[in-house]
Structure 1
Amino acid sequence: MPMSVVTRCGLFASSALAAWLSGQTLAQAADADWGCQIVLCVAAQTPSWHGIPYCVPPMEKLIAAMALPGFSWPVCTGAGTGAPGYEAFEDCPAGYSEAEVQSGHGGNSESYCSKFTTERGERIELDRKPRTLREKPYYFDIRQPGGTTTRAWFDLSP
Structure 2
Amino acid sequence: MRLRAISACVILEVVLSAATLHAPVAASEWGCEVLFCASSSKPSWRGVSACHPPMKRLIAAMNKPGFDWPACPEAGTSRPGHERYAACPEGYRVGRRKDGDSLTQEGDLCVKTVSICQDKAHGFYNSDRQRSCIQTISISRPLRLEPYYFDIENDTSGQTERHWFELNR
Partner SS, residue 68 of structure 1: coil
1:68 maps to what in 2?
A: 64
Partner SS, residue 55 of structure 2: helix
Matched, 1:42 2:30: no
8 A contact 1:80–1:143 mirrored in 2: no
Q: 2:87 aligns with which of 64, 87, 91?
A: 91
8 A contact 2:34–2:54 mirrored in 1: yes
8 A contact 1:17–1:79 mirrored in 2: no
Partner SS, residue 55 of structure 1: helix
Task: Show structure 2 runs of 5+ residues with no match.
Answer: 115-126
2:154 maps to what in 1?
A: 144
Relative to the length of structure 1, the TM-score reads 0.72
Q: Output the CA distance in 1 between the equivalents of 2:104 and 2:95.
A: 14
Amino acid in the other structure paired with 2:149: Y
Relative to the length of structure 2, the TM-score reads 0.68
Aligned-pair CA distance for 1:45: 1.2
- Structure richer in strand, relative to its length: 1
Amino acid in the other structure paired with 1:127: I
Aligned residues: 137
Q: Output the CA distance in 2 between the equivalents of 1:150 and 1:59.
A: 21
Q: Matches of residues 10-25 of structure 1 in structure 2 within 5 Å?
A: 16-18=4-6
Q: Output the CA distance in 2 between the equivalents of 1:101 and 1:144.
A: 39
Task: Show structure 1 runs of 5+ residues with no match.
Answer: 1-13
2:49 maps to what in 1?
A: 53
CA RMSD of aligned residues (A): 3.1
Amino acid in the other structure paired with 1:128: S
Of structures 1 and 2, the one scoring higher in RCO (CA 8 A, sep 6+) is: 2
1:131 maps to what in 2?
A: 141
